[in-house]
Structure 1
Amino acid sequence: MLVAMCCYVFNDVFVKLAAQHLPPGQVLAVRGLFATLFVLVVAWGARARWRTALRPLVGVRCGLEITTALASVLALSLVPLATVSTLMMTAPLMIAVTAMALRWEPWQGSRLVAAAAGFAGVLLVIQPATRLDVPTAGHVCALLCAASLAGRDLVTRRIPAGVPSSLIAAATTLAVCLAGALLGFTEQWIVPTQREIAALAAAASCATLGSYALIAACRGVDLSVVTPFRYSFIVWALLLGYAIWGDVPQPLAALGAVLILASGAFTIWAARRP
């Protein structure tokens, strides 16, 4: 999970650099093309078992991966990196509430209160009444990305152990690439520069390794065990956002981030306590 979070933040950095000039569908398609080549190398050893990936749950995960990638690209093109990363960290809270709603875990009032505090932290990060410098659509896309992430992780836990992680990563990567190509029919693509191609190739390598590491982290284990390590994502995002773009969170936004982190950590602790 630590490796996955580090890779995903670097992926977001490279995507944000490219998305400043390229439309979302082109970003997904070009990055997906590179990522497909990379992931096929990783999945080559499991090629004889490719039929095991033809399962409905793998298809559902592909759909959630597409919405996650598209929402992420749109959010990164509109909102600072640290803000997107913080809002995406509401995914563990969504996982906890959903797991209780589906009766996968017992209802706990303290976890519900912590989740409510975390979502209050979201309002502090967004500050809808005062943050007129940031488009509302960017915040909506970041929260949609978090919801897709939560659903993706819940589905991943239900995929049978007989399906190799490398094949799941290959299927989802190819699905995102195809979705970007289809989205291109509604966009005006431009010729990318060498810098943008290099950025998307780097993003693809980071996304490939991150996807494989995340799938491996979520399988065969209670999500409450590995979820705490997901919060390293915010640390990397804050450091890289400041180093590259000079982004510094406002005091209220920083307080909101602390609320999200604290509530997420409490829900994990409360889930493991029994």
Structure 2
Amino acid sequence: MALSMAAFTINDAAIKVIMTQVPFYQTIFLRGVFTTLGIVLLAYLLGQRSLGLARQDRMRIFLRAGADVGATLFFLTALRQMPLANVTAILQTAPLTITLAGAVFLGDPVGWRRWLAILVGFAGVMMIVQPGTEGFSFFSLYALIAVCFVTLRDYVTRGLSEDTSSMTVAGINALAVTLCAGIGSMGEVWQPVTGANLRYLAISITAIIGAYYFSVATMRVGELSFVSPFRYTSLVWALVLGYFTFGDFPGPLTLFGAFTVVAMGIYTIYREGQLARAPASD
């Protein structure tokens, strides 16, 4: 999981560099074409010889792909305008929003400890976003919208049957993002991708395919409550890459807010793992 998060963050940094010189949708489209082909090849190498899509999951897959398109476009829009670490830190609120959505919309039981963790976590988000101050960026709202799409995507994923392959889900999502980016790129003036940008594009494609591979491999063998906290290692990578690649480093308030979000997210995952194990123990 830590390797998967490192690869995803390396991909984000590479894409952020490319988008400074190459049009937005063109960048996403080019990455998407090669990523989709890479996922298909990876699925084949892992032994998947059929589509692996259960009939009862088709509507959920369609909805999940739509949510992934929204999450990708809003996240990358925010990433293009904001420091890498800030956007990554906001995205770390996803476990909190998933728990909140489950309580509000699905009636999942949430005790006072997790409610408190959610409230403290969102206070951490306010420290990162800093509304009403000079440090506020309007694109922070784009990152928060991306979190909403991630929440929808992950809740839809929970309802998928075991008959649907994880690589099929990843491939359909990559294809959906690619098609939408291709449509968007029709309104742009395409630019040649040469030199350093070509190398960064190759890094991005390799990293995101590797990220999918490590993520799927982890989900196959790891207990969710144990491996999920390792998702937060992406923030460490974002801090390092943001500093050495773009010269960005968050201020003390943003850092404190980021680590508050991480701490509350890890506690929420830990608490849910405890509650899940309790019935089995009884």
Q: Same fold by TM-score, threshold 0.5 exceeded?
A: yes
Match of 1:201 in 2: 202
What secondary structure sits across from 1:61 in the alignment?
Answer: helix
The answer to which of 86-95 and 203-212 deviates more is 203-212
Match of 2:29 in 1: 29
Over aligned residues, Cα RMSD in angstroms? 2.2
Q: CA 1:258–1:49 in 2, change beyond 3 Å: closer, same or farther? A: closer
- Residues 1-274 of structure 1: pairs in structure 2 closer than 5 A: 1-44=1-44, 45-52=47-54, 55-103=58-106, 105-132=108-135, 135-136=137-138, 138-215=139-216, 217=218, 223-274=224-275
Give the residue type in structure 2 aligned to 1:43.
A
Q: Structure 1 CA distance, aligned partners of 2:147 and 2:225? A: 17
The answer to which of 29-38 and 93-102 deviates more is 93-102
Give the residue type in structure 2 aligned to 1:26.
Q
What secondary structure sits across from 2:51 in the alignment?
Answer: helix
- Stretches of 4+ aligned residues off by more than 4 angstroms: 215-223
1:23 Cα offset (Å) = 2.3
Whether the 8 Å contact between 1:3 and 1:210 is mirrored in structure 2 is: yes
Give the residue type in structure 1 aligned to 2:144.
L
Give the residue type in structure 2 aligned to 1:4.
S
Give the residue type in structure 1 aligned to 2:71.
T
What secondary structure sits across from 1:49 in the alignment?
Answer: coil
Unaligned runs of 5+ in 2: 276-282
Q: Structure 2 CA distance, aligned partners of 1:153 and 1:215? A: 15
1:50 Cα offset (Å) = 4.5
Q: CA 1:68–1:214 in 2, change beyond 3 Å: closer, same or farther? A: farther
Q: List per-residue Cα deviations over 1:119-148 (Å, max 9, x = no partner).
A: 11111111122235x631x21121122222
Give the residue type in structure 2 aligned to 1:27.
T
Give the residue type in structure 2 aligned to 1:143.
L
Give the residue type in structure 1 aligned to 2:73.
L
Whether the 8 Å contact between 1:11 and 1:204 is mirrored in structure 2 is: yes
Whether the 8 Å contact between 1:125 and 1:256 is mirrored in structure 2 is: yes
The answer to which of 144-153 and 86-95 deviates more is 144-153
Match of 2:278 in 1: none
TM-score (structure 2 length as normaliser)? 0.88
Q: Structure 2 CA distance, aligned partners of 1:129 and 1:66? A: 30
Match of 2:280 in 1: none
Q: List per-residue Cα deviations over 1:1-42 (Å, max 9, x = no partner).
A: 223211110110111111112222111101001112211111
Percentage of pairs with the same residue: 32
Give the residue type in structure 1 aligned to 2:196.
R
TM-score (structure 1 length as normaliser)? 0.90
1:66 Cα offset (Å) = 1.0
Q: Structure 1 CA distance, aligned partners of 2:184 and 2:220? A: 31
Whether the 8 Å contact between 2:4 and 2:211 is mirrored in structure 1 is: yes
Whether the 8 Å contact between 1:71 and 1:145 is mirrored in structure 2 is: yes
